[in-house]
């Protein structure tokens, strides 16, 4: 796909699309070839699959860890609120 075709799929500025394409290319997730004045972008599927595998590694445990962190945060917040209430009533 050309950068113009990719940009047409999104509702943001052209510069935003080209910047994202540069970042993805620097990460090795895209390559391009020049055809005249156009650049034709291609996805590097093997590299993208590695990213997918890496993200899949975190899918299950993240939910559990997030719940644990929220619980800890809630306990700290509840404890702090209790201390504030005690200080106000004293």
The pLDDT of residue 14 is 86
Torsion sign (Cα): 66, 72, 75, 77? negative
Q: What is the Rg, in whole angstroms, of the alpha carbon atoms belonging to the chain?
A: 24
Rounded to whole angstroms, the Cα distance separating 57 from 60 reads: 7
Backbone angles phi, psi at 34, to 5 degrees: -85, 135
Q: Per-domain residue ranges for the chain?
A: 3-43, 57-90
Q: What is the pLDDT along the chain (90 residues), one digit of tens a residue?
A: 998 899 899 888 888 999 999 999 999 999 999 999 999 999 999 999 999 998 888 887 545 455 555 544 455 555 655 565 565 555
């Amino acid at each position: 796909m050309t950068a113009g075709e990719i940009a047409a799929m999104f509702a943001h500025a052209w510069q935003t699309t080209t910047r994202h394409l540069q970042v993805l290319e620097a990460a090795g997730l895209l390559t391009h070839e020049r055809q005249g004045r156009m650049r034709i972008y291609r996805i590097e599927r093997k590299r993208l699959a590695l990213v997918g595998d890496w993200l899949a590694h975190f899918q299950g445990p993240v939910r559990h860890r997030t719940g644990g962190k929220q619980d800890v945060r809630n306990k700290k917040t509840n404890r702090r609120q209790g201390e504030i209430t005690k200080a106000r009533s004293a």
